[in-house]
Structure 1
Amino acid sequence: MLHFAPNRDIVLIDRLQRAAFDYFLDYSDARTGLVADTSRQGSPSSIAATGFGLSCYPVAVERGWMRRRDAARRVLTTLRFLDGSRQASDRHATGYRGFYYHFLDMRTGERSWNSELSTIDTALLLAGVLTAAAYFSGADPSEAEIRSLAARLNGRADWAWALNRGDTVTMGWRPPGRFLKHRWHGYSEALLLYVLALGSSTRPIAPETYGAYSTAHEWLTIDGAPHLHAGALFIHLFPHAWIDFRGIRDKGMREAGSDYFANTCRAIALQRAHAEENPHGFSGYCRDLWGFSACHAPKGWLQLRDGRRQKLLGYAARGAPFGADDGTLVPWAPLAGLPFAPDDCLEGLSHMLAHYPALLSDGRLPGGFNPSLPGGAREGWVDDRIVGLDQGLAVMMIENWRSGLIWELTRSIPAFSRGLRRAGFEGGWLAPGVV
């Protein structure tokens, strides 16, 4: 999968990938293995960030950043904690019905911030659990225990219960017994969720649920070609972090003559085109500075550098070409986009670091920045948080570009291939006889 790039680019990418991985060493709890949502002091754990971290340990071993036994020990710590944590319907538990609360106390694992029992964040966690288990395939007792625990954790997620007698999966549940009213219906990061829910060997959902989910997909015609629309970049990228969508197609993609990989390539091109057009006249926007996704920012009416007043959205899912846009960008976009548009992303990364060098803190990129807002430097407003999800996505996508490691691992996991086939995916590496 390696794309040949100038040596200076590979050296830079290696440095940024290593720094992003080190987030999971610096911001995880030694006893529970849980990973902090952000670098802010006192941040609770995000179970999704924990799932990304579990997927990144194989990268660290292959890149020589950690010894295999040390990485296995850290994975085992996390899986043992998750396996032994309390599953109950009260508000102080860690999870229920095999699902986990979105945010957990780093040290105790108890529910934090009155968060919901999250189906999508549990899916991201389980994807990491399964990926780690696929990598640690040796005969060593610790690696055998990783595989045993992973199978048990994945098997106890009651996906059928999460339907709440409906035809699509609910977004979550709150104690003592109330499902959230919203469901995963229409193109979203829940593509990964449906693959794992369909692929469960113990409590799966029926194939018809995937059809109910996909009926709400929003298809657009862009330059005469069908495009499955989602404005925010993370929606396109999260499923790709684990699943190699090149050449495999569900019913909708077969009818469109496309696949999810090509669709994401197009989504990145649309984001770059929006930044170049810059319809709102924000500072810095160009084809080499883009990235519209979910991130934090100030909230309320603020004065921009050019004197205009602009409504800032706070935490919001920004998107392009048809989404919220208040001048705030995610700087991790060119790293996470490398498998899809490597030349464009390398140029974008070079441009961003040349023009906004203060974005880097300990070699890591922040959750977001807004160069249209007044600030001490060209960067304008810069988020003081390093976000675990962003760091994990960067590590995994860089590695998928460099070696295809994560995609190779998940192609070998029955839960992934079974779920894709039950969703109606065909072709490519799913074709009979293809390894």
Structure 2
Amino acid sequence: MKKLIIIIFLSFISCGSSDEKATVTPIPSPPLTAVVLSDEELLNLAQKDALKYFWEFAEPNSKLARERYHTDNTSLDANIVTTGGSGFGLMTIITGIERNFIPRLEAVSRLTIALNFLENADRFHGAWPHWMDGNNGNVIPFSPMDNGGDLVETAFLCQGLITLREYFKNGTVQEKALAQKADTLWKGVEWDWYTKGENALYWHWSPNFGWQMNFKLEGYNECLLAYTLGAASPTHPITSQAYNQGWARNGAIVNGNSQYGIPVVLNYNGATGNVGPMFWSHYSFLGLDPRGLSDQYANYWTLTQNHTKIMNKYCIANPQNFTGYSEKCWGLTASYTRNPDGTSGYTAHQPNNDTGVISPTAALSSFPYTPVESMKFLRFLYDEKKAQYVGIAGPYDAFSPKFNWVTPRYLAIDQGTIVPMIENYRTGLLWNLFMQAPEVKTGLINLGFTSTQHGF
């Protein structure tokens, strides 16, 4: 293994109340000395750092993931729980248990609190809202009409619940009870309700506004998992017609274009022949294993790997001549961004929407697809720019060499894909757990998928 010397500056900056910190076993950090880190040791460090967001900076009452954590304003939205990010957090914590980064008994206790919270939180035909109040589980509107069920965020949470069930189902009495609760929670989602009687899934339903948001889930974007779990549900399943007509648009999802000589494979919504933000190859694929996975529209390993290679080559080509883009500094996805007036905003960075901002989660969560290219970025972060770009819970959400700008902030959905996807690269842990669930296999088969990796 290639080894480089890096200086690890320890001294964890504590945030939050002393009472909250007293109930959490801190994640061990390396000693305050100059050490030589192998690639494997550096991957451990990156996973430990990102895990802190969901372990030491979780919402204190629910133990689920806070929507955001701003080191420059630690009280902002302190009790807003995010549903999808919490699903990613469940998978992050499972990885932390497996690697002995956190105590198993303490993790089981905290996960039990989290699932009890979800059991009593607001649900809308089984779907959780995008945001919940961590104090009481009440819906917090994400936008004026988005005060009901969010099916896509719910799918990301269910991905974590199914993975958790598979991890703990043969454990201790307490672990088996936790697995059973996860099973009950995910099976309570009424996927068929969210078709509103059509051959398609819809993102939102509100008890006040009904279907007024009218957001149909059409491919290709981050929503593949919702159709997978809808078809997998043993209680409220959707039909294959919904997938083929709604998601795949009767075959219009297929794209014959190439970028940098690499096939794009599927039409990325809003990208006009190019690829979209990298999270489209992450959110559904924390559990859904693209290796050897195919249906009539795509080979999903080719799709996700090509997406990442195109993004890497785009940043190296750097058509807008942004300062800092290179083979070791690359990756565009949805994250905080720098607005033209210097303030912070949020946008889905992609080749068609490039603001000169790099989002660390883009390359780090792509380790399974481009391990060499992603390792170059990881070493850039930790060997060269740790003091500027890495904070108390891993890499900050976004930075821009062009504007000499970095946001000292974190978002659950960005931090939450780093640990699971690095682990899938290293051991396939989350992929194997999720794909071994019998209903997941049934759902994929019902939609016409095959998997050489998992034998169906």
Task: Give TM-score scaled by structure 1 length.
Answer: 0.87
Work out whether 1:327 is the aligned partner of 2:363. no
Letter paired with 1:189: E
Letter paired with 2:405: W
Cα distance change of structure 1 residues 218 and 139 upon mapping to structure 2, 3 Å threshold? closer
- Residues of 2 paired with 1:349 and 1:114: CA distance? 33
Letter paired with 1:97: H
Gapped regions of structure 2 (runs ≥ 5): 4-36, 269-274
Work out whether 1:426 is the aligned partner of 2:456. no
Work out whether 1:46 is the aligned partner of 2:91. no
- Residue of structure 2 in register with 1:256 after alignment: none
- Residue of structure 1 in register with 2:7 after alignment: none
Equivalence map 1:195-274=2 (5 Å): 195-212=228-245, 213-215=247-249, 216-222=252-258, 223=261, 225=263, 227-228=265-266, 229=268, 230-253=275-298, 259-274=299-314
Note if contact 1:339-1:401 (Cα within 8 Å) is conserved in structure 2: yes
Note if contact 1:75-1:132 (Cα within 8 Å) is conserved in structure 2: no
Work out whether 1:369 is the aligned partner of 2:399. yes
Equivalence map 1:333-412=2 (5 Å): 333-357=362-386, 358-362=388-392, 364-373=394-403, 380-412=404-436
Cα distance change of structure 1 residues 42 and 313 upon mapping to structure 2, 3 Å threshold? closer
Cα distance change of structure 1 residues 331 and 430 upon mapping to structure 2, 3 Å threshold? closer
- Residue of structure 1 in register with 2:203 after alignment: 171
Higher relative contact order (CA closer than 8 Å, sequence separation 6+): 1
Letter paired with 1:71: A
**Which of 2, 5, 25 is the aligned partner of 2:55?**
25
Cα distance change of structure 1 residues 313 and 157 upon mapping to structure 2, 3 Å threshold? same
Deviates more, 1:195-204 or 1:5-14: 5-14
Note if contact 2:66-2:81 (Cα within 8 Å) is conserved in structure 1: yes
- Residue of structure 2 in register with 1:186 after alignment: 219
For each residue in 1:380-413, what CA deviation from the matched residue of structure 2 results, as whole angstroms up to 9, or x when unmatched?
A: 2212211212222000011111111111111211
Q: Give 4+ residue runs of structure 1 displaced > 4 Å after superposition.
A: 4-7
Work out whether 1:55 is the aligned partner of 2:91. yes
Note if contact 1:272-1:288 (Cα within 8 Å) is conserved in structure 2: no
Note if contact 1:16-1:363 (Cα within 8 Å) is conserved in structure 2: no
Letter paired with 1:243: L
Letter paired with 1:124: F
For each residue in 1:161-215, what CA deviation from the matched residue of structure 2 results, as whole angstroms up to 9, or x when unmatched?
A: 1111222111112331422212111211111111111100000111111102112
Note if contact 1:187-1:218 (Cα within 8 Å) is conserved in structure 2: no
Deviation at 1:57, TM superposition (A): 2.1
For each residue in 1:223-246, what CA deviation from the matched residue of structure 2 results, as whole angstroms up to 9, or x when unmatched?
A: 374622441000112122111111
For each residue in 1:264-321, what CA deviation from the matched residue of structure 2 results, as whole angstroms up to 9, or x when unmatched?
A: 111111111111221111110112211111112233456xxxxxxxxx993111113x
- Residues of 1 paired with 2:433 and 2:138: CA distance? 31
Equivalence map 1:113-132=2 (5 Å): 113-115=141-143, 116=146, 117-132=149-164
- Residues of 2 paired with 1:250 and 1:64: CA distance? 37
Letter paired with 2:290: F
Cα distance change of structure 1 residues 371 and 225 upon mapping to structure 2, 3 Å threshold? closer
Per the alignment, in what secondary structure is the counterpart of residue 243 of structure 2? helix
Work out whether 1:13 is the aligned partner of 2:47. no
Note if contact 2:169-2:180 (Cα within 8 Å) is conserved in structure 1: no
- Residue of structure 2 in register with 1:305 after alignment: none
Letter paired with 1:281: N
Letter paired with 2:227: Y
Task: Give TM-score scaled by structure 2 length.
Answer: 0.83
CA-based RMSD = 2.0
Deviates more, 1:124-133 or 1:31-40: 31-40
- Residues of 2 paired with 1:52 and 1:352: CA distance? 23
Work out whether 1:84 is the aligned partner of 2:117. no
Per the alignment, in what secondary structure is the counterpart of residue 266 of structure 1? helix
Deviation at 1:431, TM superposition (A): 3.1
Note if contact 1:197-1:205 (Cα within 8 Å) is conserved in structure 2: yes
- Residues of 1 paired with 2:262 and 2:120: CA distance? 53
Deviates more, 1:239-248 or 1:197-206: 239-248
- Residues of 2 paired with 1:300 and 1:343: CA distance? 33
Deviation at 1:353, TM superposition (A): 3.8
- Residues of 2 paired with 1:224 and 1:316: CA distance? 25
